[in-house]
Chain A
Amino acid sequence: MEKTKINITDEVAIHISDMNKWFGNFHVLRDINLEVRRGERIVVCGPSGSGKSTLIRCINRLEEHQKGSIIVDGTELTTDLKNIDKIRSEVGMVFQHFNLFPHLTTLENCTLAPMWVRETPEKEATEIAMEMLEKVKIPEQAHKYPGQLSGGQQQRVAIARSLCMKPRIMLFDEVTSALDPEMIKEVLDTMIQLAEEGMTMICVTHEMGFARQVADRVIFMDDGQIVEQNEPEEFFKNPKSDRTKLFLSQILGH
């Protein structure tokens, strides 16, 4: 399948400069510099503990950075709660363990944030939610509770829940890692569809097939640093750093 690149614009969606973060004394992110353009699709990979999840969690302030700056959609992340809530409502996030709200039905999961954060009327929120559930291909599960769905279905609901806020940027944090092999494909298909529609995406994932197919840029991280980034073709064919070569040989080797 041919990739569509026309979506990438000059507009800067996320600007991270000289960002550092520590967990106690542990220096988990070191001098991160990253610029993401609107419409760009980025895959972040790296060994576990390399800081890739922490990096994207800093973008919507689930983690606080201690040095440097992060600017999302022109708003800088500071301790100002209003800014944080604003950015969070513009940036969708999907988690490894879905984190659906188990006490609400699928539909209520999707309508909750638009109704309370955006103050969308219930009828309209329901329409948007059904539209998004159709997009992820499970409108028939709208009145079930998350506990009654399979892992793949739950993850798709989680994607729909984020989309209901009409986010301008989507963050995916290892969204297929907790799924059975049979279900990974249905979630990846949803993400591919999103990518083709021109959503700005940052995906932390080990699905290299997905990276090859949709990413505009692959970033490899190790020890809290960005080691290498490139277009996927080049990245997989001609990795420059030894560390990247080792990593790729380990995950593609068998």
Chain B
Amino acid sequence: MTKIAFVRKKEIPPSPPPITEVGLIGWLRQNLFSSWLNSILTVLSVYFIVIMLWDFIPWAYGGHWNTKSLRECLDLDPDVACFSVLAARWKQLLFGLYPAEEYWRPTLTFIFLLLAIVPILFPKFFRFFWFSIIYPGLAVWLLWGGSVWSISIVYIGLTLGVLFFLTLIRRYLKNYMIAAILAFLFTAVFFLFISNWLVGLLNAILPINLPFVESLKMGGFTLSLIVGVTGIVASFPIGILLALGRQSNLPVIKMICVGFIEFIRGVPLITLLFVASVLLNYFLPPGTNFDIVLRVVIMVTLFSAAYMAEVIRGGLAGLPLGQHEASASLGLTYWQSQRLIIMPQALKISIPGIVNTFIGLFKDTTLVSIISLRDPVGLASTIRADQKWNGIYWELYVAIGLMFFIFCWGMSQYSQYLERKLKTDK
């Protein structure tokens, strides 16, 4: 019988791992050649990548950029790409039918967009958040033009409403509900009776105008970004509210939210877009001119809000019940605990799903070509209808695909960065 008793005689110091486990060789062994099957798959994959690039690189690298038509390209060398179509039509792909002398406006809007999202994406720059708030109005004014005051008045009215509300709360009233109703009435009165007069006055004093550009002129990536970005920004808060509503204890709210989500999810986006472009006019009073881009944006927003709600509900369901109990036991109200405890965690869990929905929404904007708006895909058909470029597809669609890829890949990269940043357990 062996002895059971044992006492450590000397301490074993830590030593580095064997050389085959670290460095490049270690990495290759672990990741590419860990077994026979993996080694075969690695070799096959490398083979396929090589034969694809073997054809693609000479095709793309040797492509023509300066010919006048597809015919000319084919005459020169039929085996390489004919990127001349992009050189000839890139402005159209970016701006649609926007007047050429006004191209600076969508360009500036885009540059401002990049600046406006920085404070939202990186908390370090949060002190510039005021610009993100101004941006929507600025973008609308730059893109559609008209008087700067007719946009500013919206901001003025809303600011006055908020100030009115805050004054009521601080000075005169304790009840938030009544203060909110009064503030709402105040704002409504402002917009119904005062705003037009004030716009006229401001215009008379200091007229700042841009030439008006109508919605049907919007196109190309400008249109994709208008629809995509507005949809993303608007669908997020609506999705949160729908997700909360779906979990509500109040049956009426719950039923409305469930009904909305299930209805919108059950209908194809194209159907909704047709409703936006054709049917909606039947329901509206005759003579109303309800902007087509706005109609499309609303439909796309509602569509992705329904998906967003379900994604966020998944995040909410992933939270332990203890989080609700702990925040309740500290005396936080429902909205406080949603805002400070529940949502930050639920949203963090749902980041992959949320970004997935955003990316889906952004790519779905190409569906507006169905209702004859000129987004890049719609424009591709227009360009191909031109006899000079009749018969071209690869070059156009590769370019459009690449543009979309850059945006979507950017979103995906940001989401991964965010997930790493919000990781708090290690």
Contacts and interface: CB of A to CB of B under 8 A. Distances in A.
B322 A103 contact: no
Contacts, number: 74
A95 B325 contact: yes
Given A100-B326, A103-B344, A103-B348, A85 B424 contact: no
Contacts of A97: 320, 322
A143 to B, nearest CB: 12
B333 A85 contact: yes
Interface in B329-386: 329-333, 336, 340-341, 344-345, 348
Contacts of B327: 101
Contacts of A75: none
A89 B325 contact: no
B351 to A, nearest CB: 13
B319 to A, nearest CB: 10
Interface stretch (A110-118, A200-208, A213-221): A110-118
Given A62-B325, A95-B325, A95-B326, A103 B424 contact: yes
Given A116-B340, A145-B425, A102 B345 contact: yes
B328 interface: yes
Interface residues of B, number: 22
A62 B329 contact: yes
A33 B336 CA distance: 34
A99 B345 contact: no
Contacts of A60: 328-329
B422 interface: yes
A99 B320 contact: yes
Nearest to B422: A103
A147 B328 contact: no
A159 interface: no
A225 B320 CA distance: 29
Contacts of B326: 93, 95, 99-101, 158
Q: How large is the interface on A (under 10, 10 to 19, 20 to 34, 35 or more residues)?
A: 20 to 34
B413 interface: no
Given A99-B322, A103-B424, A62 B336 contact: no
Interface in B152-205: none
A86 B322 contact: no
A232 B425 CA distance: 41
A92 interface: yes
Contact of B426 (A81, A89, A147, A165): A147
A116 B327 CA distance: 11
A88 B330 contact: yes
Contact of B336 (A86, A102, A116, A147): A116
A146 B323 CA distance: 13
Contacts of A148: 424-426
A112 B329 contact: no
A92 B328 CA distance: 10
Given A102-B425, A103-B422, A92 B329 contact: yes
A98 B329 CA distance: 12
B330 A117 contact: yes
A117 B426 contact: no
Interface string A40-72: 000000000000000000001010000000000
Contacts of A145: 424-425
A88 B322 contact: no
Q: Among A60, A81, A101, A161, which residue has the most Cβ atoms of chain B within 10 A?
A: A101
Given A99-B320, A99-B322, A99-B323, A89 B424 contact: no
Contacts of A98: 322
Contacts of A90: 331
Contacts of A155: none
A90 B422 CA distance: 32
Nearest to A158: B326
A101 B331 contact: no
A162 interface: yes
Contacts of A102: 345, 424-425
A171 to B, nearest CB: 8
A62 B345 contact: no
A161 B425 contact: no
Contacts of A88: 328-331
Nearest to A100: B326
Interface of A: 60, 62, 81, 85-86, 88-93, 95, 97-103, 112-113, 116-117, 145-148, 158, 161-162, 165
18 contacts: A62-B325, A88-B328, A88-B329, A89-B330, A89-B331, A95-B325, A97-B322, A99-B320, A100-B326, A103-B344, A103-B345, A112-B332, A113-B331, A113-B332, A145-B425, A147-B424, A147-B426, A161-B330
A-B complex: 3 closest residue pairs judged by Cβ atoms: A89-B331, A147-B425, A99-B326
Given A95-B326, A97-B322, A147-B425, 17 more contacts: A60-B329, A62-B329, A86-B331, A88-B330, A92-B329, A98-B322, A101-B326, A101-B327, A102-B424, A103-B344, A113-B332, A116-B332, A116-B340, A117-B336, A146-B424, A161-B330, A165-B330
